[in-house]
């Protein structure tokens, strides 16, 4: 019954998607009636897909192994939380979640954007329904999660052991909310071009959708990075895996799009560039979906290895990319936007920022696709690894870090004030002083480029703080405490969100460079009671014990950790044995001290000794903290804008 009703709901969703497409373009029907029916069909589309997803989730919860997808990805003894989240731990379930989120965004357009002209909204729903229908047909014909099997097995194969982790609960949904969120931006942009109405109001309409999608994608990438760091035992946060790169591409173009929108809203310039970025961002989202599900990649992230599925997604991607670029070319403006050029203008620096971002995007795209193209032509297998990406990204990061603190301080008009120069000089002097102190303490007489990059990250943070101070604090007649309190009470709220986000990027730079350049690692054979010194820490191995989980058994290795003869706690790396599949995974042990980590992974385990890798990673937590700051800053910016808009109306 679950299979029957699940399929009926998917077919019904496809039918109402077709109805939305037709009704939104029936010009012989009154506009209000078209809008009413198209909105109704859009809501029905979401409900049909939602209940089909609920049915599949229920099948996982009750372990209905008559459904092939449930049998292949679940088992009787799997913890309930992983039965629920295991729905999206496979290709069929995850693509259904993808379409559910897509239909939910369409639902939100109907519910939230009611003040937008109806003919414009109809164009948005038309594009959204086209995308939804394409993926519904993809599910029905190639990736149906409700396929039955007979006879019914008594137990399931089980979820991929690496996916039985809290990261699975959060990482994929956030990524999909980000990927699919850019479909709304894409649909709004295409609708604006179809409606010949790409003014600053259009930019205002899509801003919240850009923010939501970008924040979700950033959180998804960040949590995925943390998941790989501790679960896979890599001890690294980014390995330039092709699928990782595929998620980075829409993030880069989405970042450029946010900045380009600010120029377009303020001056009306670079309209074509902004439209192009909105198209590219969703196109890269589709490309990421293709790479994960086409079978052309062998990766821990890959879901499928069926060429037929890859062909379907390639056709879908090609259709929307070609269609959107055709509409874009037909709507290019004839106005060359000739204005007086000022190099020290905020818009100019944002444009430089965009060019650097797009250069980095091209570098990632080339490094990701070149091996695939070469293999398809010559059958030669090559790998473009971290050395290539790190080498070309360092100069781009340096340039971005130099421009980032300056640009937001500059006026839109190009007339630089004394106040602006003072702010930049103040933050620059503090930063140079900090770099000199670090050079003396850390490196002595030896120059290290990494310290310069750390200093640039610190400059972004310092400048972001300085830029929040009020323009005039009347400090002549006040003592230090009064000046501090005055500055805190009069922080420039309108700038707060952007400056928090920029400070987060500075933290990210500091964390990456420090953890990469100043980490320590030891690969050791450790006897029972053995002692290991690393940096300022002393670790003692005290033997092993066992722990029984719901569907696995843990072999827990006990380490005590001290620093300066003070007991700090314990580290418990594990070897995990899954009973049903027989898989063995390594669970890293991590001790968090201030902003640094002591990281332990275990190899061979014997009763009297173990082989282990012990690492010290200074300030590594800045990597994820910086990413969360970027998201918090952007959300703060959105909330502050809403607050001031409401206050203006009141």
Confidence of residue 538 (pLDDT cuts 50, 70, 90): very high
Does residue 151 have a cis peptide bond before it, meaning omega lies within 30 degrees of 0? yes
Q: What is the pLDDT of residue 647?
A: 64
Condensed to tens digits (0 to 9), the pLDDT of residues 589-618 reads 999 998 999 999 998 999 889 999 999 999
Percent of the chain with pLDDT over 70: 91
In the predicted model, is pLDDT for residue 40 greater than 80? yes
The per-residue pLDDT for 560 is: 95
Domain boundary among 373, 398, 416: 416
586 with 605, same domain: the answer is: yes
The verdict on residue 338 lying in a domain is: no
Least confident of 51-60, 170-179, 304-313: 304-313
Based on the domain organization, do 512 and 524 belong to the same domain?
Answer: no
CATH code for the domain of 60: 1.20.120
Pick the range with the lowest mean pLDDT from 56-60, 99-103, 209-213, 258-262: 258-262
Q: Encode 338-358 in three state secondary structure.
A: CCCCCCCCHHHHHHHHHHHHH
Q: Does the pLDDT of residue 502 top 90, yes or no?
A: yes
Decide if 319 is inside a domain. Answer: no
Least confident residue range of 44-53, 227-236, 322-331, 625-634? 227-236
> Which residue matches tokens 């990805």?
73
Whether 324 is covered by a domain: the verdict is no
Q: Residue 628: pLDDT above 90?
A: yes
Shared domain check, 376 and 299 = yes
Q: What is the mean pLDDT of residues 265-282?
A: 88
Domain span at 277 = 199-312+345-416
Q: How confident is the model over 447-480, as pLDDT tens digits? A: 788 888 999 999 999 998 888 776 655 554 555 5
Are residues 554 and 598 both part of a single domain? yes
Q: Does any domain span residue 185?
A: no
Which pLDDT value is given to residue 182?
A: 96
Q: What is the mean pLDDT of residues 428-446?
A: 86
Instruction: Let me know whether 244 and 131 are in one domain.
Output: no
Q: Is residue 190 part of a domain?
A: no
Looking at residue 344, its pLDDT comes to: 78
Same domain for 402 and 472, yes or no, is no
Among 164, 180, 208, where does a domain finish?
Answer: 164
Do 434 and 405 belong together in one domain?
Answer: no
> What is residue 297's predicted lDDT score, i.e. its pLDDT?
59
Query: 170 lies in a domain?
Result: no
As a whole number, mean pLDDT of residues 310-335 equals 88
Same domain for 631 and 497? yes
- What's the pLDDT score for residue 377? 83
User: Do 392 and 250 sit in the same domain of this protein?
Assistant: yes
SS3 state of residue 512: helix
Other Cβ atoms closer than 10 A to 515: 24
How are beta strands 520-527 and 531-534 bridged, if at all?
unpaired
How would residue 525 be classed by pLDDT, with cut points 50, 70 and 90? Answer: very high
Q: What is the pTM of this model?
A: 0.92
Q: What is the DSSP string of 413-472?
A: SS---HHHHHHHHHHHHHHHHHHHHHIIIIITTS--HHHHHHHHHHHHHHHHHHHTS-S-
Same domain (yes/no): 443, 548: no
In a domain, 181, yes or no: no
For residue 233, pLDDT over 80 is answered with no
User: Is residue 254 scored above 90 in pLDDT?
Assistant: yes
Q: Per-residue pLDDT averaged across 511-528, rounded? A: 92
Does pLDDT of 645 surpass 70? no
Angle at 578 between CA 577 and CA 583, to 5 degrees: 80
| Mean pLDDT confidence for 136-151 | 94
Do residues 299 and 385 share a domain? yes
Examine residue 176 and state whether it is found in any structural domain, yes or no.
no
Over residues 501-524, mean pLDDT: 93
Domain count, the chain: 4
Say if residue 588's pLDDT is above 80.
yes
Same domain as 262, residue 209: yes
The overall average pLDDT reported for the chain is: 87
The residue among 365, 397, 416 that closes a domain is 416
The residues with which 521 forms a beta bridge, in sequence order, are 615
């Amino acid at each position: 019954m679950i299979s029957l009703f699940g399929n009926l709901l998917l077919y019904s969703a496809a039918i109402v998607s077709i109805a939305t497409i037709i009704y939104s373009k029936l010009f012989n029907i009154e506009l209000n009636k078209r809008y009413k029916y198209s909105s109704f069909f859009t809501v029905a589309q979401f409900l049909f897909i939602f209940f089909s997803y609920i049915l599949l989730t229920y099948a996982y919860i009750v372990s209905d192994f008559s459904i092939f997808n449930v049998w292949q990805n679940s088992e009787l003894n799997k913890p309930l939380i992983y039965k629920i989240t295991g729905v999206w731990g496979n290709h069929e379930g995850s693509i259904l979640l993808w379409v559910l989120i897509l239909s939910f965004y369409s639902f939100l357009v109907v519910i939230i954007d009611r003040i937008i002209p109806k003919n414009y909204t109809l164009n948005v729903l038309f594009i959204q329904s086209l995308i939804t229908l394409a993926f519904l047909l993809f599910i029905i014909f190639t990736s149906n999660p409700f396929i039955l099997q007979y006879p019914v097995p008594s137990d399931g194969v089980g979820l991929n052991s690496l996916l039985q982790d809290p990261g699975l609960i959060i990482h994929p949904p956030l990524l999909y909310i980000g990927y699919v969120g850019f479909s709304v931006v894409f649909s709004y942009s295409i609708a604006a071009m179809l409606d010949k109405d790409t003014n600053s109001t259009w930019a205002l309409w899509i801003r919240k959708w850009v923010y939501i999608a970008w924040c979700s994608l950033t959180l998804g990438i960040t949590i995925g990075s943390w998941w790989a760091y501790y679960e896979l035992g890599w001890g690294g946060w980014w390995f330039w895996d092709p699928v990782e790169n595929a998620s980075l591409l829409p993030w880069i173009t989405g970042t450029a799009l946010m900045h380009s929108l600010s120029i377009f809203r303020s001056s009306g310039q670079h309209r074509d560039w902004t439209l192009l970025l909105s198209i590219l961002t969703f196109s890269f989202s589709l490309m990421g979906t293709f790479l994960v599900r086409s079978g052309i990649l062998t990766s821990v992230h890959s879901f499928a290895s069926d060429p037929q599925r890859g062909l379907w997604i390639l056709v879908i991607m090609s259709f929307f990319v070609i269609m959107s670029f055709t509409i874009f070319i037909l709507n290019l403006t004839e106005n060359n936007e000739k204005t007086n050029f000022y190099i020290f203008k905020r818009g100019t620096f944002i444009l430089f920022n965009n060019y650097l971002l797009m250069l980095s995007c091209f570098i990632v795209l080339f490094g990701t696709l070149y091996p695939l193209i070469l293999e398809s032509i010559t059958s030669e297998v090559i790998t473009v690894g971290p050395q290539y990406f790190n080498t070309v990204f360092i100069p781009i990061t340096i340039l971005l870090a130099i421009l980032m603190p300056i640009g937001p301080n500059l006026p839109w008009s190009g007339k630089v004030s004394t106040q602006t120069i003072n702010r930049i000089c103040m933050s620059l002097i503090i930063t140079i002083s900090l770099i000199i102190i670090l050079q003396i303490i850390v490196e002595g007489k030896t120059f290290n480029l990494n310290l310069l990059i750390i200093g640039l990250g610190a400059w972004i943070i310092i400048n972001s703080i300085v830029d929040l101070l009020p323009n005039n604090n009347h400090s002549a007649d006040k003592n230090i405490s009064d000046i501090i309190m005055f500055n805190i009470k009069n922080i420039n709220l309108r700038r707060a969100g952007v400056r928090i986000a920029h400070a987060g990027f500075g933290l990210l730079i500091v964390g990456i460079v420090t953890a990469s350049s100043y980490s320590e690692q030891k690969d050791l054979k450790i006897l029972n009671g053995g002692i290991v010194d690393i940096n300022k820490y002393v670790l003692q191995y005290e033997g092993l014990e066992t722990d029984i989980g719901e569907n696995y058994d843990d072999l827990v290795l006990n380490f005590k950790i001290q620093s300066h003869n003070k007991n700090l706690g314990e580290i418990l790396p594990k070897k995990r044995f899954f009973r049903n599949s027989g898989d063995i995974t390594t669970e890293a042990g991590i001790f968090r001290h201030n902003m640094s980590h002591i990281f332990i992974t275990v190899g061979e385990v014997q009763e009297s000794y173990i082989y282990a890798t012990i690492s010290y990673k200074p300030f590594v937590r800045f990597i994820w903290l910086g990413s969360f700051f970027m998201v918090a800053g952007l959300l703060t910016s959105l909330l502050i804008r809403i607050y001031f808009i409401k206050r203006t109306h009141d």
